[in-house]
Structures are given as structure tokens and as C-alpha cells.
Chain A
């Protein structure tokens, strides 16, 4: 059921199709579009920030509005752009890579998406309802607890709801990867992207509850008069820092690991070589996952935890450089001796290596606690985390999107436009952020609305702003590319890149049941093995038979809508208790939908053997 057939059925039907879909491939489209939209909003906020900082003592935006911009830029980019775009790739690719027909819980998959989307909308509602959140994306208490207006309430409720969506998504992929692998797909034969998806999902499972707890405490402080973070009531502001970073640091790895997976697959495919040191790569990934939970306090070196705690967390943080270094060298040696094709997807992967090495090395520098006393909360940190998050995650997303675009939509993105996107964005990125390392050490703290003249910070900030515009141009060219390709692009085969993994063994875009017959996996890079042995496709593991598929459902949308409504009730009951009725209404909708889901049997449907044999569904 491709988009073409959907269009024939009319626009309304297509909308309904997407509102009710439980197909992982369509949910990937939903994540891609909404994540992309939030990426543009976050980017626009970044541009306004850079325009404000283009010269000293500028007043392009007011101080208060600037704080809303910086808060929403960070929150949007992490929670509403990077996370859903990662989930877009996970949804589009992971079930295909393990030879599954869908995820383990298709209904939950849809629920996860709609929760994320409604949470994201709540967050952004602040712009129109008297002020967006303005306490920084880290929302440190007590500032976040005392920030006037409803801004931070939107942050709390929005993230709580979208966080629940992410948690559901994470659990779903964990179960999918554990249970739904095709026969022969042992753990050590999984493509590295699937491995990173697996580790990322387990990180989500353990990290997000810490955020949930923190947000609940903050919600009670703000909306119901408790004092968890209020020192005068016996509360403690440091607790928030701990809770936030116990979530926040693994979050960095939640984002970067799938990007590592993308690069591993892309570098291997386009150098026509098996991934060098596959076993080491898998262990490095899991090790990074484990260590990721033991380093959160390096965000708190200046909190005053004392030299012993600082030293321990410094060493633990440095330790992460070892598995990360292993990865870098394994990537380099995957390329070594290969036959390297450089196209748009590969450009992003190749650019990632030096960029991320810079981000990683400044990470080690930041781990040196006593030196961090200087770096902390300055533009040095801003430069560092943009090197890892843009240079790692965003490069990874661009790379993955160019690589899997033909699998998702059946067309290859235009190469010329792809290269223009790459070069403008890449140069703009380094122009924007490299200089910021020095700005930080020269005395510019982060989250500064303005800086005074005569502090020798002018040139650096000007260069940085110019770079930001180049990145914007690159992004615009990418959007043009997407439109151009969907109008003019040519249909491609199921395997345009001479791929190595299972997703390339089926048509592009795949039929909604993915695999007519579940494939039999005979080693790492299963498709490559079959090709080397002269076969055309994957050997099936089962005879052609009826396929059981889940039914679409509108219930996930309704459940999320209910929480969305209840969220507003919670926020405004502070002003007027009558809004408690809105809470009751919203919760009623959600619980009602859950009730319907519980009592109504939904056994799914079968695609019959005869229909499959006709192969009509392309």
C-alpha cells in the first residue's frame, strides 16, 4: 500500500491512513516529517540566537525572549528533532534488517509516535500562550521552579508526555530485536545499526525514568505547591541536577549510538568491505552504553561535589574515550583496503570521522575536572557538544536519510543537490562552532543574551554567525532536494547501493508485510553472502503462506489527544480550579480509549497466500 495508491483514494483517506497506521514504515514517515519540522523550528531559533550575537550589545531580541529561544532551541533539537529522527530511522530500518514483518507491538509503536507529537506541540504552545519555557533545556532548579508564567509548565508537561512516547518506543524496539529476528539472525550476526538500536533502546529504558521522576517533582513544585527543590522548605536544588543528568548523559549516547550504527553500515557498504573488527565494535557499543550511566556527574564538576567525586567521574569519563577510539580506528580500517565510492551518504560518513574526533578529544579535555572549571558553562562546552551532536548525530541522520531514502521512498535523492547540501552545511558547521572553543576560554559563558564591546569577543561571534547561515542554506537545499526528488526522481530497484544487509533484499519501498517469506540468515551481512555465492536473493526460511498482520487503529491517536487535553488542564488549574474539569475530560478520553482497547478483541488480519503469489502489492 504505497503512497501512490493512497493518493488515488483521496487526500482525506491518506490522512486517515496515517492517523491510524500501525505499519512501522509509515510511522517512520510520520517521525521523519514531524522531526524534520521541529528541526526547522529549532534551526530557526538557532539563527535568531546567532543574529542576536552577531555584534556586541545587540538588542535584536529582548533578554527575556532570548532566554526562551535558547531554552526552546535546546529542548526542541534534543527531544523533538534528534530523538524522533533517530526513531524514524529505527522504524524504517530495524525490522527490515532483522527480517521481521513489523515491530513487536505495532499498536504501541503508533502510540509512542502520537505521544511524542502531542508532547512536542504542548512544548511549543508556550510561544502563543504567554511565553515559552525560559529556564534552559536543563531547567535547573530553583530557576525552573520559580520562573514566572506558564512557560516552564509547558516544558514539564510537554516533555513528560513526549518522554512517555519515547520510553514506549524504546521498550518496543528492545522487544522487537530480542524476539523478532529471522531464523539464523543470531545476536552476533545483527547489522551494527540494529545493534546500536538495541543498546540505545536499553539506554532509553533505564535513562528516561530518571527524567520522568525529575519532571514529576518539578511539576509538583510548580503546580501543586510542594518544595522538592525549594531550599527554604528543606528541599535541595542539587537533586534536580543529578536526576536530570542521570537521564541527560545517557541521552547523549541514546542519540549518538544509532548514528554510529548508520556510519558503520554506510562505511562498510560503500567501501565494499565487511565491517572491520565487528566483534570489537559490538563490545565497544555496549561498553559505551554501560559507561554512559556512570559519568553523569561530569556535568556537575562545578557543583561542589568535592575533589574525590570529581576525580572519580573524571576518570570514568575518560574511560569512554577508549571504546570510542576503538570505533574510530575500526571505521578507518574498514575503509582501508576497500574500494571506496563517494556519494552524498558517504560524504556525511567520511566527514563525521574527523569532526567527531575533534568532538571526542574536546570531550576528554572536558573530563579533566580541574580544567573543566574553566570550560564549564562557556562556549567551549557549546562548541564541544555541537561537535558531537551535530557532527555525530545530525551528520548521522543526514547520512542515514540519504542512504535509506531509496528504501523508504523508492527514489535516490539527487546527488548534485546532496553534495551542495553537504559542503555548505559542513563548512558552515565548522565555521560556526570551531571558533566557539576559543570564545569560551576567552571568557564568554554560554546562554549569554549579549556581550559587551571591548572584550575581544566580536570577531569570533561574527564568524560564528556567518557559519550558522551557511548551515541554514545547506538545510534549505536539502528540502529542495526532497521536493525535487519526489517530483522528478527515478524509481530504483530494491538494491541500488549493492547492499549487504537484509533490507536491500526486498523491493523499495517494501510491501507492507516486508518479507513475503521470512528470510534465512546465514551469517553477518546476509545479502552479501548470498551475492558472493551467486544467488540472487535470500533463501527463505519458510514456505509461502498466509501472513498475519495487525489492524490499523485510531486509538493511539485518541489516547494521546486525551493526555494533550489533560496537560492543559494541569497547567491552567493553577489559575482557575475549573480547569480541573479539563483534566478530567482529558484523562477520561485517554482512559476510555484504553478501556476500549482492553475489551475489544483485535486479532489483526491475514494476507492470503494467493494474493502474495500474484505479487500485486508492490
Chain B
């Protein structure tokens, strides 16, 4: 099947080219610049159906244009009474049968790809990650690895990573357009999908099921690194010492404050599966704060003091703590130095 699809892709190169010229959206975000298995399959299907539908549209428009040019009421013929045609069997059969054939052309790859993308036969031998959706952040628990991350999902390139997804509150939908289509998260049933990145990169992920006030701010990242780098990352993450003492004095004080203010009650550091709030084990390696804001000290201080200003309706806004700006700065120092691994989003972008 892949063979004729490749030909088809070549055929549509021209069409795609026009799209590229008019802008296909941001690399690593847009579904029109696929970098993974699911997104490529989906784009094939989109192209097939689009081609058939453009054909249909052209046929309709040609008849439409002829009708409008030829059959306008003419001057001097105001009383002309056209023939009252009842219908035409042959024509009606044609425009019933041909659409059916066209639909079959779309239906066959639809079914093939739908089943292909739902294939879970390899799940047992693959990396499995439990994904939990929360208002308004994502949690990733690497099954069997004792690794927890939030907001950043590290995966190796070139293989299927299975995501077993559930929500802790309302519905969410996991969508990384450049890698794969989306799948909803429900509170009662686990949904499984796989993603596979063919190229290294930092991919933008979004929540695609309306989930409340900050639905539009629930971004996350998928960081696809080479399999070797991934191995190393797993190794580093497994050996994290959650109590490791930071180097600078400020950060040490920050660590103290982090515990005194019971931040740790919600935000685990290390592989504790408790995740009332995002896990911060590799917080220093993240590229965005809360998915959408600048990842720097000042923004982090603002976040600690007034998270509502960055992400309305998030649950940290209701948390009971009080820190001064100076204290927040020290906590920020502590959090920003949490960089347990040399494998960072930069590793995914540097060796291209």
C-alpha cells in the first residue's frame, strides 16, 4: 500500500508546493509539515480525499458556470417559458454511481489507516507512558521506569511510544499535530494511542478538548531525541537524587523554602508518582514556563507570586502559601538549577 501512496504523494507535490509557498504553518507544530508516523498517514489521507473533493468541486463549478452564462433570462424573451423537464434517468444514475465510486476511493485508505493507527500489537515491547491530563497541565509517567515528568515528554526517534491516557478531572485531548492526530482523555476509561517521531525535534503539543478557563494555555512539548540520547536521559532521570543540595547559597535557601512552604506537597521532585501539581524533577531543562510563558527567573517569580496572571483558573491560584518576592526569587533559583540530565530540548535541536 505504501508504494502507490508514495506515487500519490509525488502527484500531489505540486499542490503541496503551492501550500508551502502560501505557508504551511510553523514547523514542528503544523499538521501540514508532518514529522511522525501518525501525522504522515493522516496527511496522506487528507491529500487523497482533498484530491477527490477538488475534482468534485471542479465538476460542480463547471456546470454552474455554464448554467449562469447560458441560461440567464435574455432581453426580449421575458415571456419565454422553458421546457418543464421532469428529470433524466441516465443523468441521475450517473450522479449517483460516480459519487459512490469516488467515496469508495476514499473509504478504502480511510479504513486501512484507521486500523493501522489503532494497532496496539507492539505495545508490550514498546515504551509505555501513562499520560494524565489535568487542568491545565500534562503529567507523564514512564511505566516500569520510575520516571515522572510533567509538561515535557521525552521520546526516542524512530519507534512507537504508546501513551495510555486518562484525565484526573475534565476531558482533555492530547494533540501533537506534527507527530500524530489527537485522542481524548476520559476519567473512566484509559485510551491508548502511539506516537512516533521520525526526526529529532521539540514538537508543540496542545490540548484539543475544551477543558475550562485556560484550555488555550495547556501547551506541552514532545522532545524527540536519538535512541542513544534517550537511553542516557532515562539513566539520568532514574538516578536523580531528589534531595541533592544545590551549589549556590540562594538555591539552597530556595530548596529550604520549597519545603517549608509545602510546595513539595503538590510538586514532587524525583520519581514519586504523587502528582497533585506538575512534577518538577527536570524543571530547569524546560523551554517554557507553564507551557506558554517565558522560561526565565523573572517570569517564574511572577508565577510563584501570582499564577493566576499567567494561567487563569489554574489550581495553584487557590493554594495556600505566602512568599515574598525575595523568597520567590530563591525558590526560582532552586527550581531553575534542577537539570538532572545532559539531554535537554537542546539535544533534540542541536545535531541536525
A15 cross-chain contacts in B, Cβ below 8 A: none
Number of A-B residue pairs having CB atoms within 8 Å of each other in the complex: 303
Point out the residues of chain B lying under 8 angstroms from A146, CB to CB. 169-170
Q: A64-B313, A140-B210, A332-B60 are in contact. Are A457 and B82 (CB under 8 A)?
A: no
Q: Which of A162-170, A365-373, A406-414, A590-598 contacts B (4 or more CB under 8 A)?
A: A365-373
Q: A322-B96, A361-B53, A441-B31 are in contact. Are A455 and B210 (CB under 8 A)?
A: no
B215 within 8 A of A: yes
Q: Is B181's CB under 8 angstroms from A64's CB?
A: no
Q: Does B263 contact A (CB under 8 A)?
A: no
- The answer to whether residues A306 and B118 also contact, given A238-B189, A274-B85, A278-B86 and a CB cut-off of 8 A, is yes
B226 at interface by CB-CB < 8 Å: no
Q: 8 smallest A-B Cβ distances: which pairs?
A: A373-B181, A442-B25, A231-B187, A361-B53, A304-B191, A448-B216, A307-B118, A277-B87
Question: B71: which of A64, A329, A336 is its contact (CB, 8 Å)?
Answer: A336
Given contacts A271-B82, A374-B46, contact A277 B216 (CB under 8 A): no
- Measured in the bound complex, the distance between the Cα atoms of B77 and A235 in whole Å is 69
A residues within 8 Å of B by Cβ?
Answer: 62-64, 67, 135-136, 138, 140, 142-143, 146-147, 231-232, 235-238, 271-274, 276-280, 302-304, 306-307, 310-311, 314-315, 318-319, 321-322, 325-326, 328-330, 332-333, 335-342, 350, 353-354, 357-358, 361-362, 364-365, 367-374, 376-378, 438, 441-443, 445-452, 454-457, 459, 532
Q: Which residues of B contact A321 (CB under 8 A)?
A: 99, 103
Which of A272, A369, A370, A442 is B81 in contact with, Cβ under 8 Å? A272
In the complex the two chains form, is B212's CB within 8 Å of A443's CB?
no
If A276-B85, A364-B49, A451-B216 touch, whether A457 touches B25 (CB-CB below 8 Å) is yes
Bound Cα distance from A84 to B64, whole angstroms: 32
> Contacts A146-B170, A274-B84, A357-B57: A376 and B95 contacting too (C-beta < 8 A)?
no
Whether the pair B72, A273 counts as a contact (CB closer than 8 A) is no
| Interface size, B (range) | 35 or more
Whether A336 pairs with B106 at a CB distance below 8 angstroms is no
**What are 17 A-B residue pairs whose CB atoms fall within 8 Å in the complex?**
A237-B171, A273-B85, A276-B87, A277-B86, A322-B100, A325-B95, A332-B64, A337-B85, A339-B72, A342-B72, A368-B49, A370-B41, A370-B110, A374-B39, A443-B25, A443-B26, A449-B214
Partner of B92, one of A273, A280, A315: A280
Contact A336 B67 (CB under 8 A): yes
Complex Cα–Cα for A371 and B47 (A): 10
A361 to B38 alpha-carbon distance, docked (Å): 23
Residue B132 at the chain A interface, CB threshold 8 Å: no
A380 and chain B: residue at smallest CB distance: B31
Residue contact B50 to A311, C-beta cutoff 8 Å: no
B45 at interface by CB-CB < 8 Å: yes
> What sequence of 0s and 1s flags, for each residue 118-148 of chain B, a beta carbon within 8 Å of any chain A beta carbon?
1000000000000000000000000000000
Q: What is the predominant secondary structure among interface residues of chain B facing chain A? A: mixed
Given known contacts A326-B95, A372-B181, A445-B206, A278 and B30 CB-to-CB distance under 8 angstroms = no
In the assembled complex, B61 has its CB within 8 A of some CB on chain A: yes
Determine the chain A residues whose CB is within 8 A of the CB of B206 once the complex forms. Answer: 443, 445
Residue of B nearest to A356 (CB): B60
**With A272-B82, A274-B84 in contact, do A314 and B61 touch (Cβ < 8 Å)?**
no
Asked if B173 contacts A377 (CB within 8 A), the reply is yes
Residues in A whose Cβ lies below 8 Å from that of B24: 442
Please provide the chain B residues from 177 to 230 with a CB less than 8 Å away from any CB of chain A in the complex: 177-178, 180-184, 186-189, 191-192, 204, 206-217, 219
Q: Which residues on the B side are within 8 Å of A278 (C-beta)?
A: 86-87
Contact in complex: B182, A377 (CB < 8 Å)? yes
The closest CB in chain B to the CB of A441 belongs to B31
Contact A304 B184 (CB under 8 A): yes
* CB neighbours of B107 from chain A (8 A): 314-315, 318
Binary flags per residue of B68-84, CB closer than 8 Å to A gives 1, else 0: 10011110010011111
- Cβ–Cβ contact B92 & A326, under 8 A: yes
Judge whether B350 is part of the interface by a CB distance below 8 angstroms: no
Is the Cβ of A371 less than 8 Å from the Cβ of B64?
Answer: no
- Return B348 CB to nearest CB of chain A, in Å: 18
Of the listed residues A314, A328, A358, A452, the one surrounded by the most CB atoms of chain B closer than 10 A to its CB is A452
A370 touches B113 (CB 8 A): yes
Is residue B316 contacting chain A, with contact meaning CB distance below 8 A? no
Docked-complex contact A64 and B213, CB < 8 angstroms = yes
Q: What residues of B have a CB within 8 angstroms of the CB of A455 in the complex?
A: 25-26, 29, 204
B233–chain A nearest beta-carbon distance, Å: 26
Known: A143-B211, A311-B111. A322 touches B87 (CB 8 A): no
What are the residues of chain A within 8 A of B261 when measuring CB–CB? none
B63 at the interface (CB under 8 A from A): yes
- How many whole Å from A242's CB to the nearest CB in chain B? 13
Task: Kindly state the separation between the CA atoms of A354 and B73 in the bound complex, as whole angstroms.
Answer: 21
Contacts of B217 in A (CB 8 A): 63, 449-450
By a CB distance below 8 angstroms, the chain A residues around B84 are 273-274
A residues near B52, Cβ cutoff 8 Å: 364
* B46 and A371 contact, CB distance less than 8 A: yes
B56 lies within 8 A of chain A by Cβ: yes
Taking the nearest CB of chain A, how far is it from the CB of B326, in angstroms? 29
Closest-by-CB residue of B relative to A310 is B114
Q: Are B26 and A456 in contact (CB under 8 A)?
A: yes
A62–B177 alpha-carbon span in the complex (Å): 27
Complex partner residue of A339 from B32, B82, B114, B191, CB under 8 angstroms: B82
